[in-house]
Structure 1
Amino acid sequence: MEQGQQGSLRERLVDAGVELVLAEGSTSLGLREIARRAGVSHGAPRRYFPTHHALLSAIARRGFQELGTRFAAALAAPGSARTRLRAVARVYVEYALERRGMFELMFRHDLLEGAPPPPDQPRLRESSLPLFARMTDLVAQCRPEPDDDGGAAVAAAALWSNLHGVAQLWAWGSLPLVLSAARPPVAGAPADDPAERLERLLAAVLDAHLGPEPQ
């Protein structure tokens, strides 16, 4: 089979996997179902991906690429480093909520720590490095002191961990529940907007890691 056809079929399998994970979640990604959706025999994926994990990693890598595109759009907007960092934080959490199946797949431990991929592909865990580098750069710009000791990377890692936790707890309904309980409804007052509540929470996360925003 010609190289172009091989590449086309390989991408078709990944495309089918992306559609499946977005429609039905990360637990739906069986080889047979991916092959069926791609319109190939159930044995075809093995010709392009040596293991099931290799195919899942290729699908998850698409998620990192999409998230990276959203990061780039947020970073291109005008504003201070703090403003752009808040936009990146919002993008990260919104992506997790909009693409729950893909987000879960992207951070599966067995895929992140899986066997080395083909020579032309990085390890899945390395797909997160450019995103983390952008976040670290913004954190460094927000800190008053020079980043001589790598403190910006530590602060960015703490911020990332916090955002990941916000995304998971919000998706599970735990954060909306506790925040609603902490602010009982007042007669005549407008209903609490979940989007506004999440925005306030993200602002509090940045304050916790970077200090209050300068006035």
Structure 2
Amino acid sequence: MDEPETIGLRERLIDAGVDLVTAEGAQALTLREIARRAGVSHGAPRRWFPTHAELLSAIARRGFADLQDRAAKAVGGAETGPRARLTALATVYLDFALSERGMYELMFRHDLLRSDRLGPRETGLPMFGTLVDLVGRVRPEADPRVLAGALWANLHGIAQLWGWGSLPLATGAGDHVPLLNAALDAHLGPEDRR
């Protein structure tokens, strides 16, 4: 088999996985189903991905790239202040988590991925670095890594509980924006929203 065809099949397997996780969630990502959707035998993925975790990592890499692109555009296009940029970043994160639920779940399930095969730029680390930087600018007296970690955990919790229907039920809220604003205020201090 020549090189372009090999690369084409590798990408076809990843594309099939991305489509599957988007449609049915991370639990549907079996080697057999990905191979079936790519139109190859169930053993064919092993040629390019020796383990299931390596194929899942390649699929997650696409999600990280998509989220990073969205975040870079939002932060770059936001007002110039660090609080506005942080709000834009948090909004993109929650919007991605709620609109791409299967991919989002896979991306942060490092117990399923070959995290050692994902380079730092192929994970959430660049976005977390941006979060740390912006938190440090808004709250220079705090440890920015710890505070950014707490904010990230809070955003992740909002995404999960909103997606499962728990937060709308418990709070009666019609959308997640008031919860996002409350999380930002809790971690960064209140913002004047006149």
Q: 1:123 to 1:134 in 2, by over 3 A?
A: closer
Q: Which of 99, 119, 122 is residue 122 of structure 1 equivalent to? A: 119
2:70 is the alignment partner of 1:86? no
Runs ≥4 residues deviating over 6 A? none
Name the counterpart of 1:210: 188
Name the counterpart of 1:48: 48
Deviation, structure 1 residue 76: 1.4
Tell me the SS of whatever aligns to 1:212. coil
Q: 1:166·1:175 contact (CA, 8 Å) conserved in 2? A: yes
Q: Which has the larger radius of gyration?
A: 1
| Structure 2, gaps ≥5 residues long | none
Tell me the SS of whatever aligns to 2:112. helix
**1:150-169 equivalence runs, <5 A:** 151-169=143-161
Name the counterpart of 2:96: 95
Name the CA distance, whole Å, in 2 between partners of 1:115 and 1:159: 23
Deviation, structure 1 residue 56: 0.8
Tell me the SS of whatever aligns to 1:110. coil
Name the CA distance, whole Å, in 2 between partners of 1:210 and 1:137: 13
How large is the RMSD of aligned CA atoms in angstroms? 2.0
Q: 1:4 to 1:123 in 2, by over 3 A?
A: farther
Deviation, structure 1 residue 144: 4.3
Q: 2:57·2:115 contact (CA, 8 Å) conserved in 1? A: no
**1:47-66 equivalence runs, <5 A:** 47-66=47-66
Q: 1:4 to 1:61 in 2, by over 3 A?
A: same
**1:1-215 equivalence runs, <5 A:** 1-79=1-79, 80-112=81-113, 114=114, 116-117=116-117, 121-122=118-119, 127-145=123-141, 151-180=143-172, 194-195=174-175, 198-214=176-192
Q: 2:98·2:163 contact (CA, 8 Å) conserved in 1? A: yes
Deviation, structure 1 residue 111: 2.6
Name the CA distance, whole Å, in 2 between partners of 1:16 and 1:139: 37
Deviation, structure 1 residue 122: 2.4
| Structure 1, gaps ≥5 residues long | 181-191
Report the TM-score when normalising by structure 2.
Answer: 0.91
